[in-house]
Structure 1
Amino acid sequence: MRRPPDRPRTCWPACLTPANATANAIAVKVPDVPPALRPADGSRLVLQVHAIGVQIYECAQAANGAWEWQFRGPEATLFDARNAKVGDHGAGPFWRLEDGSRIVGQAKASSPSPTAGAIPWLLLTVKSRSGTGGLDPVDAVQRINTVGGVAPPAQECVAAATGRTVRIDYTADYLFWGSTPSR
């Protein structure tokens, strides 16, 4: 497993874990995001994690007959402020913590990343949940501070490459928002 790189993060050193979310929520500094990516008024920051992984794309023919890289999903490991693994993130998209809590999100809004060559920033709402733990109070998820993850150039997806899958490295910060404070 790759360790997260040492780099400054917008929340450092107050990145949250579910146990201290309520106490540290005010100290967390997050970048200014476009209005469409902001959680509902009254939301509280429950958890912030750093993800290191890949975005997976497959070369396939679109309905219009053109060849294109189609997004299949992410695979990432989630780390807390101490660089300890706290969970994983995968296709659905889902986020699962080591405590067994799991949520599945649905994209609500997207905005281009301010970093060239990076996947967009997102706001997602929770459409389902399972298990019990730190993700219980979460209603929305933001993906910010993205680096990498963009599909290869379109000209690399041609008929001869049908079914070819590529895994593109990416990192991001995920902020989990809830309407009630963490327990």
Structure 2
Amino acid sequence: MMPIRRRTATDLLALVLLAGLFSCRPAAEKAPTVPPAIAVPEGAVVVLKAHAEGVQRYMCKTPPEGKASFAWTLVAPEADLFDASGKRIGKHYAGPTWEDLSGTKVVGEMKAKADSPDPNAIPWLLLQAKSHEGTGSLGQAKFIQRIATAGGKAPEGGCDEASVGFEKRIPYNAEYYFYDVTGK
């Protein structure tokens, strides 16, 4: 007959810790509190959160027919996307398009906006996905929110007939939340 081995406190602690490793899942990112105008539909869950750092590119353009003044017009954003640890995970550019390092992309279309609490920052936005490419987290995104913006507003003044065609790159940063909608 084999002797029964008694479990020591150290053995039990090791078993509890090992069991915890297999049962833990990463905590889901919580949706931020936002103005009602840019809220996502009920049932939407965050699939990715990214911090963006880059520029908003503006070009001085001739006034459209019937308008009296020249204006700085948004050309496109150019930003790198980072995860919570500061690791670069992708980029954001014209479209508007967000692309991760695997090549998965989502192109959005603006649905609503709200003023930033910072009067010197670009607005907060709600966008809906209009196309996808690839299968990563961005490939699941149905909605995108841009919040917590800093900078990025069009220049004030300096756009006149002599500066038509000139471009200015205005630094900005923001948080982007990408959502899938359960059951859809």
Normalising by structure 2, we get a TM-score of: 0.81
Q: Is the 8 A contact 1:88 1:97 kept in 2?
A: yes
The residue number in structure 1 matching 2:41 is: 40
Matched position secondary structure for 1:156: coil
* Counterpart among 168, 178, 183 of residue 180 in structure 2: 178
From 73, 83, 94, the counterpart of 1:70: 73
Q: Kindly indicate whether the alpha-carbon contact (under 8 Å) linking 1:104 and 1:127 is maintained by their aligned counterparts in 2.
A: yes
Residue 168 of structure 1 corresponds to 170
Q: Pick from 92, 106, 109: which aligns with 1:106?
A: 109
Q: What do the CA deviations read for 1:116-144 (whole angstroms, capped 9, x no partner)?
A: 20000000000011122121221000000
Matched, 1:159 2:161: yes
Q: How does 1:1-183 map to 2 (within 5 A)?
A: 23-25=26-28, 28=30, 30=32, 32-63=33-64, 64-153=67-156, 155-180=157-182
Counterpart of 1:102, as a letter, is K
Contact 2:57 2:170 in 1 (8 A): yes
Structure 1 residues not aligned, in runs of 5+:
1-21
Change (3 A) 1:111 1:148: same
* Paired letter, 1:120: P
How far is the alpha carbon of 1:29 from its aligned partner?
6.2
Query: Does structure 1 conserve the Cα–Cα contact (< 8 Å) formed by 2:31 and 2:46?
Result: no
Report if aligned partners of 1:137, 1:180 keep a CA contact under 8 Å in 2.
Answer: no
Q: For 1:7-52, what per-residue CA distance to the aligned partner results, in whole angstroms no more than 9, with x for missing partners?
A: xxxxxxxxxxxxxxx8422x6362x211110111100011001000
**Preserved CA contact (<8 Å) 1:99 1:132:** no
Q: TM-score, normalised by structure 1?
A: 0.82
Distance 1:121 1:172 in 2: 9
1:9 maps to none
8 Å CA contact 1:141, 1:176 repeated in 2: yes
Q: Alignment length, in residue pairs? A: 157
Do 1:96 and 1:102's aligned partners in 2 also have CA atoms closer than 8 Å? yes
Q: Secondary structure of 1:136's match?
A: helix
RMSD of Structure 2 on Structure 1 (CA): 1.5
Residue ranges of structure 2 left out of the alignment (5+ in a row): 1-24
